[in-house]
Amino acid sequence: MKTAILGAGLTGITLARLLHEKGDEVTILEREQEYGGLCRSITNSGFTFDIGGSHIIFSRDTQVLAFMCDVLGRNSRQNKRNTKIFYKGLFIKYPFENGLNQLPKDDLFFCINEFIKTLIAVEKGQIAPPSNFREWINYTFGKGIADLYMIPYNEKIWKYPTELMSMHWVDGRIPRPPVEDVIKSAIGIETEGYTHQSVFSYPLRGGIEAMVREIAKPIEESIQTGFTVSSVRKENGNFIISDGSAEITAERLISTIPLQELLPCLEQVPEKVKKACGELKYNSIACVLVGIKGSVPDISWMYVPEMEMGLFNRISFPSNYSPHVAPSGHSSILVEITNREGDEASTMLDEDIIDHVVDALSNMKIIKTKDDVVYSAVNLQKYAYVIYDLEYQKNIAIVKDYYARIGISLVGRFAEFEYLNMDGCIRNAMNFVGNL
C-alpha cells in the first residue's frame, strides 16, 4: 500500500520505518528543511543543543525503551538522575515530596501536617472527590506541597489556572506518592520518586536528533522536506496532497502534524469542527541555549517554581548527559520558558530573553559571572505542550470523530493532541502499525 505521512518528527519517522518494514511504499512530507520536529538538535560553536526542550531516553515500556536504545547502539551513555527543585535559594531533591527534610522547618511542618490532615480527611470522606486539576493536587498532596510547589510550578509551565484544567490526564503522569515515602522524607530517611527515570540514557554525540536519524536510516530517501501542505482532498478512494505546486497521491494518509495546521487544508469542514479545533489550547516554548566556560552543578535538570526567580520553569545541563555536547573546558545549559501568545515572554526580543536568563543564572549562582557565557541563542517552537482545559475532552472528541469519518489517521503528540513523551509517541506509532 502507498502511504503518505504528514510530518517528519519522531512519530512520523517511526511510523515510516515500521510501515516500510511491513512492505508499504511510504512518503513522508515535512514542511521544514530538516526533519526531526521537536527532537531536532543543532551544533554551533562546538555546543550541541536540543532545540525542542531537554530530552532524555527512559520509559516504563520495555519494548519502546529497547527500540530507542537499540537504534543508538554504542552512541549512547547511561546517566543516573540527579534532579533538583530550586526553592528559596535551596536545591531541594526532586520530586518535592521526596525532599521535604531539606525545606526550612516551617515549610516542612506545613507540608507534612497538611499531607496527614488531608489523608485522614479523605479516608473519612470529609473531602469531596476532585473535579479539576487544582482540586486533585490538594486532594493528593495536601495544601502544603500544593501551595509551595505543585500549584505554582504547574501554573508556570501551563500558563493556565489549575482550577480550569481537567484532571483526567494525571494518572500515570504524576504518580501518587506512597504515604510511607512522604513521612520518611519528612524525617530525613532517603526515598526515591519517579523511579522509572532514575536512570536514563542520552546520545553521546549529536543530541537527541541522533536517535531520530538512526530511526530514519531505512527510509531517509522517502522524506520530502520543504513540502508545506496546502490542500488535502479525496478522489476515487485516494488522497491527493498538494503544496500548491506538486501533488502526492496515496491510498492511506496519516497525519502527525498539529490539528490546527491540517484543518485549514481540508474542504467543507463543518463549523462545529472548526470551532472545537480552535478551542483546543496549547503552549509554545522558548529554549534559551547557553554555553559557558568552566563547569556547571552536578545536576541533570532542575525545576524552578518561583516566578520571582525568572520566567523559566526548567533548567537542564546537557553537558552532564554527555561530555561530547560541549567543547573541552566548557559546559552547556538549556533553559525552557513556556509561553502563550500575548504573555510577557512571547513579546520579548531574543536578546532580552537571553539577558533575563543569564542574569537569573548568575543570581542563582549557577554561573560564576556573565563573562563566562561564550555562546547564547534562542529557539522558538510554536507547538510544545497540550493544555488540558475543562472543555478539552468535549472538543477533542468532536475533532477526532471528524478525522475518523474522512479517513485520515492521527498519530503523535499534536495530531492526537495528547501530552506524549518520546516513548509515548513511539508506542502509539507501534500500536497504529500493529493494529492495521
Q: Is residue 81 part of a domain?
A: no
- Residue 116 is placed in which grid cell? 496527614
Closest listed residue to residue 56, CA positions, set 421, 386, 306, 433: 421
276 and 419 belong to one structural domain: yes
Q: Among residues 193, 226, 261, which one ends one of the domains?
A: 193
Q: Is residue 139 part of a domain?
A: yes
Q: Number of structural domains, the chain?
A: 2
165 and 213 belong to one structural domain: no
100 and 187 belong to one structural domain: yes
Tell me what pLDDT residue 197 has: 82
Closest listed residue to residue 410, CA positions, set 264, 260, 282, 231: 260
Q: Mean pLDDT throughout 209-232?
A: 98
pLDDT digits (tens, 9 = 90+) for 240-276: 999 999 999 999 999 999 999 999 999 999 999 999 9
Helix-, strand-, coil-residue percentages of the chain, each rounded to 5: 40, 25, 35
Tell me what pLDDT residue 136 has: 96
Q: Is residue 51 part of a domain?
A: no
147 and 210 belong to one structural domain: no
222 and 178 belong to one structural domain: no
Q: Is residue 11 part of a domain?
A: yes
165 and 186 belong to one structural domain: yes
240 and 116 belong to one structural domain: no
Q: Is residue 42 part of a domain?
A: no
Q: Mean pLDDT throughout 112-141?
A: 96
182 and 214 belong to one structural domain: no
315 three-state secondary structure: strand
Q: Among residues 135, 170, 193, which one ends one of the domains?
A: 193
Question: Which stretches within 73-161 are classed as H helix?
Answer: 105-123, 133-145, 151-158
pLDDT of 177 higher than 90: no
Q: Among residues 169, 193, 217, which one ends one of the domains?
A: 193
- The CATH number that applies at residue 273 is 3.50.50.60
226 and 149 belong to one structural domain: no
188 and 220 belong to one structural domain: no
Closest listed residue to residue 426, CA positions, set 178, 19, 63: 63
- Residue 282 is placed in which grid cell? 496549547
pLDDT digits (tens, 9 = 90+) for 46-66: 999 999 999 999 999 999 999
Closest listed residue to residue 318, CA positions, set 41, 74, 99: 41
Q: Which residues 6+ apart lie within 8 Å of 359 measured at CB?
A: 370
117 and 143 belong to one structural domain: yes
Q: Residue written as cell 531505512?
A: 218
132 and 187 belong to one structural domain: yes
Pairing of strands 199-202, 247-250: unpaired
Tell me what pLDDT residue 196 has: 76
The distance in angstroms from the start CA to the end CA of the chain is: 12
Q: For the packed helices 62-72 and 422-435, what is the interaxial angle rounded to 10 degrees? A: 110
- Residue 340 is placed in which grid cell? 502563550
Which domain, by its residues, includes 23? 2-37+206-280+390-435
pLDDT of 393 higher than 80: yes
Q: Is residue 219 part of a domain?
A: yes
For residues 320 and 302, what is the distance between their CA atoms, to the nearest angstrom? 13
230 three-state secondary structure: coil
Q: Is residue 408 part of a domain?
A: yes
Angle 157-312-309 from CA coordinates, rounded to 5°:
115
For residues 56 and 71, what is the distance between their CA atoms, to the nearest angstrom? 15
pLDDT digits (tens, 9 = 90+) for 352-387: 999 999 999 999 999 999 999 999 999 999 999 999
Which amino acid appears at position 218 of this protein? P
DSSP code string of 199-222: EEEE-SSS-THHHHHHHHGGGGGG
Q: Is residue 14 part of a domain?
A: yes
